[in-house]
Structure formats: structure tokens, C-alpha cells
Amino acid sequence: MKDAARLQSVIEILTLHGAEKKPLDQLSHTYFKTRRYIGSKDRQSISTLVYAIIRHRASCDWWALERGLSPLLMAPYDAARIRLLSYLWLFEKMPREKFGILFSGEKYAPERLSDKERSIFEALPKLDKLPPWVEGEYPESLFPFLRRRFGDSLQTEARSFLEQAPLDLRVNLLKTTRDAALMNLNSTGLDAEITPYSPWGLRIKSRENISQTKAFQEGLVEVQDEGSQMVAQLLEIQPGQSVLDLCAGAGGKTLALAALLNNKGRVVATDTAAWRLKRTKERLKRAGVCNVELREISGITDKWLKRQKERFDHVLVDAPCSGSGTWRRNPDQKWNITPQDIAELTALQKSLINGAAALVKPGGSLVYATCSFFCEENEDIAQTFLKDNPDFTLVNCGLQEAPFLTLSPLQNNTDGFFAAKFIKGTL
């Protein structure tokens, strides 16, 4: 593809994202699937530019707004063009004359620039300091939440959100050892190394299609961020015990829990979406797991759950959340979350953890986790739970004996995770 055609594809994907509000990775996958003529190198180039624009959307919108253009008030197609123009001008430093060549209106090329769009190139007096949400590349409405979490280190932490996340793998101990898996991957030319925190983790710094490797296809490794692996580790599972993964999703932590049980004992993975459990079933088969029961439930008040009072040695509540901790991987999510969404999520999270408490055996553990930075979804939920459930005791589970596990890209090179561990009864 020519450069102009690539830019037109970028505009089309950004337009879809603005119109449909679906996850960007899904939209991109569908877009390329229906356009088989776009080669792998072109797909990579287009995707890289799309994600870069989304990561820097705050700067692109601010630059346009200072010139009298507001992408937030535009139709998705017009907003996509403005953001692309702003990004190329601000971050790629594209010469002005090249815009006229690329935006020619010819076949497969973007339409010619309008007079309004040309205002993107106007120079204005520089501000001494940009608003923090522009510097940090996140929505203004989320500034109070992030400021509360990170305080004076917010800007430094926010810059780490913009970096590309590494590819983390969890070694499947049912089939191999970490040393053997490491040798396997390195022998195929992948530059893998052990992770610093998780005893089952491997990290590949470069962007690789791990699903095409023999190690993945044979179930020796699974894609899982090191932070997520550390959450599973908190349960301190012993073979033969019973474990409930209450919000199993696609089963990443379910697989880790089953491996810890060494196919002995029992894991019950529940979720409200049958399609997510179907994906889990496929992953379990590849991993050689045979002690997991998948169960679709209607919610925390499900009849089956009510019959499971004090049945489990360990319960994991990997609660639905804002996903702010995954912004390195999913930068589009930051533009879809609002303060109202956070308020609704916290109500759900309180309901889930309180409902899960009844399912834990005396002396058993309850782990509450999110992939969120926000205190409202994390520490606030844990502290409220302790007040409402005096029969539970908080256990220090963070690094350096901290009360909570709190991880961030800057501090730990993981996704942003939070976890709190409680024991039913006194220690």
C-alpha cells in the first residue's frame, strides 16, 4: 500500500471507533479481516499509527481545540481526520507540503484538506504549562481519580501509561518447568527472560505472535501479565483444595489456579457470560486441565451460589472494573470511562465481595482484585468490606509487607493491579 492509502485506512478505523464505541482491538481485527488485500506489514503500520493517535488523543484534541476545532463535537469521520492531522503535525513532525501530497483526494487517498483543517498548521503562542490531563494523555474528568491515587507522582506515572507493554507469559506447570519453557522459547529465536516477581513468569520484550509458536500451541505457556499472575499467587493454594473463581472471564486466572492445584482438588469458574466461559473451555483443553467446572450464573444472587455457603477454601473475586490498569495495552478504554461508570462499578464491586464472603470456609481466604488504579474501586472497597464483615481479617499481601498489592507500569513494569486478601476468622 502507498502511504496515502495507509492514512485512509487509519481514518476509517478511527471513524469506526468513534461511531461504534467497541474495543479498538475488535474493530481493527474486523476491519482487516474484511480486507484481506492489506498485507501484514501494512496492517502493522496502520495499527501502530491508530494506537499512537489514541494514546495521544488528549494532545491532539487540545491542539485542535486551541485552533477552534473540537473533535468531541464533530461527526466521527471529521474527528478522525482532525486527530490524524494533529498527530502527524505534532508528533511525526510531518512537513506541511507533504500533507497536500498525501491528502490528494485521489483513488485510495484521503480527501483534500478543507480550510478549517488547514488551521491545524497555525502556530499559536506556547503555554508555559499544559493542563495535566493533556500532558498525561487522559480525559480531564479522570484527573481527580488519578490525582488521588498517585499524588505528586501522577505525571511521571501517566507517562508510563503511554509505553508499549511487554509480552508476559505464564508457564504451565502441569506440562513443563519455567527453565524448560525458557529454553524452548529461546531456541526458536525469541528473546525471553524470567520475570522478577512471579515464579512462573516469562517476558518477551519484542512484539511477537506467540500463538504461532509450538510452546503456545502445546499449552506450555499462556499469555498473562505478570501482575495477574501475582494475584493468583496470593491465594496460596494447596493441591486438593476447593477454589471458586467468581468472575472468571476468559479464564486467565482460572488456568493459573488449576495449575497450582496440580489437577487435584476442584476449581469452579463462574461468569455471567456463556461466550466467555466457552473461551475458557478451549484454553483449559490446550493446557491439559481436568479439574475445572465451568458454570454460567445470573449474578451474585444466583440460586446455585446461595447453595454454596462456606464450601470453598479460597474465593477469588476478580471484579469487573474500569480497566484503567491496562491502558498501556488498551489505550482506547480511557476514553470510554466516565465518573458515572466508576460509581456504577463500585456499587457492583461492593455487592460481589459481600456476596462472596458467605462462600468462604472458616479459615479460608478471600482475594479481591481489580486491574484498576482508582482508589474508589480498590482501597475504598476493601476498607468498607472490613467494616461490614468483622469476621474477616485483612492480611498483608503487598510488596514490602504492605497491606494491599498495588502494581503500576512505572513501579513494577506490569499492568496496574490491586489486590486485598482476607482470612475468614482470626489469624
**pLDDT for res 26:** 92
**pLDDT for res 125:** 62
Do both 388 and 245 map to the same domain? yes
Is the pLDDT reported for residue 355 higher than 90?
yes
Is the pLDDT reported for residue 6 higher than 70?
yes
The DSSP line for 195-217 is -SS-TTEEEE-S---GGGSHHHH
* Dist CA 178 CA 201 (whole Å): 8
Under DSSP, the state recorded for 137 is T
* Dist CA 85 CA 99 (whole Å): 8
CATH number, domain of 52, equals 1.10.940.10
Is the pLDDT reported for residue 128 higher than 80?
no
Is 349 inside any structural domain?
A: yes
- Domain range holding 56? 3-126
Q: What is the pLDDT of residues 300-347, one digit of tens each?
A: 999 999 999 999 999 999 999 999 999 999 999 999 999 999 999 999
Do both 411 and 294 map to the same domain? yes
Task: Let me know how long the chain is.
Answer: 427
Do both 15 and 71 map to the same domain? yes
Do both 245 and 194 map to the same domain? no
Q: Which of 60, 247, 321, 371 is catalytic?
A: 371
pLDDT band of residue 245 (cuts 50, 70, 90) is very high
Do both 321 and 372 map to the same domain? yes
**For 140, phi and psi rounded to 5 degrees?**
-60, -35
* Dist CA 247 CA 198 (whole Å): 22
Do both 316 and 359 map to the same domain? yes
Do both 246 and 389 map to the same domain? yes
pLDDT band of residue 427 (cuts 50, 70, 90) is low
Q: What is the pLDDT of residues 397-417, one digit of tens each?
A: 988 889 999 999 999 999 999
Mean pLDDT of 6-29: 94
Is 351 inside any structural domain?
A: yes
Does pTM top 0.85 for this prediction?
yes
**pLDDT for res 68:** 92
What the block records as the C-alpha cell of 82 is 482532525
Q: Above pLDDT 70, what percent of the chain?
A: 99
**pLDDT for res 251:** 87
Strand ranges for 371-413 from DSSP E: 392-395, 405-407
What value does the mean pLDDT of the chain take? Answer: 94
CATH number, domain of 372, equals 3.40.50.150
| 356 burial type by CB count under 10 A (0-12 exposed, 13-18 middle, 19+ buried) | buried
Q: How would you classify the pairing of strands 312-318 and 242-245? A: parallel
**Number of domains the chain is built from:** 3
pLDDT band of residue 122 (cuts 50, 70, 90) is confident
Is the pLDDT reported for residue 352 higher than 80?
yes
CATH number, domain of 187, equals 3.30.70.1170
Is 317 inside any structural domain?
A: yes
| Helices and strands in the chain: count of H runs, count of E runs | 19, 12
**What is the number of alpha carbons within 13 Å of residue 396 lying toward its C-beta?**
4
* Whether 371 is catalytic: yes
Q: What is the pLDDT of residues 169-223, one digit of tens each?
A: 999 999 999 999 999 999 988 989 999 999 999 999 777 788 889 999 999 999 9
Do both 194 and 292 map to the same domain? no
**pLDDT for res 22:** 87
**pLDDT for res 91:** 94
Do both 248 and 304 map to the same domain? yes
414: region left, alpha or beta (phi > 0 left; psi from -120 to 50 alpha): beta
Is the pLDDT reported for residue 249 higher than 90?
no
